[in-house]
Amino acid sequence: CKIEHASVRHTLSEDEHHDHDHHADDSHHHQAEHDENHHEHEQHSNHGEFTIEYHYQCADLAKLEQIDTQWFKLFSATEKIRINLLTDTKQTALELHQPQSKIAL
């Protein structure tokens, strides 16, 4: 599969906003919404949410059986990931919790 579009939005800081978009053909859509708890100091914490959207173009979607995310390895303070998965033939919503990393298609 080839990535056609990626977008990242977050709520960690009102003063700072990063939005990265890359567009092309939007034939298949995979969207993952990621929640992350980030602790800046021991006495208080800062909660933030990430919305990450990926659109892929797959020549043969039938060969794609799962998506394996490395999010929990990279951001260990994350409690859960909410996923909305959309393809030409399937629409589903689910949550991943550590140590789950695979999204079955």
Q: How far apart are CA 62 and CA 70, in angstroms?
A: 23
Residue 7 exposed, middle or buried by CB count within 10 Å (0-12, 13-18, 19+): middle
Cβ distance 80 to 35 under 8 Å? yes
**pLDDT tens string 76-91:** 989 999 999 988 888 9
**pLDDT tens string 35-83:** 444 444 344 456 788 899 989 888 887 888 888 999 999 989 899 999 9
In terms of pTM, does the model score above 0.75? no
Could you tell me the residue ranges of all domains in the chain? 2-11+23-104
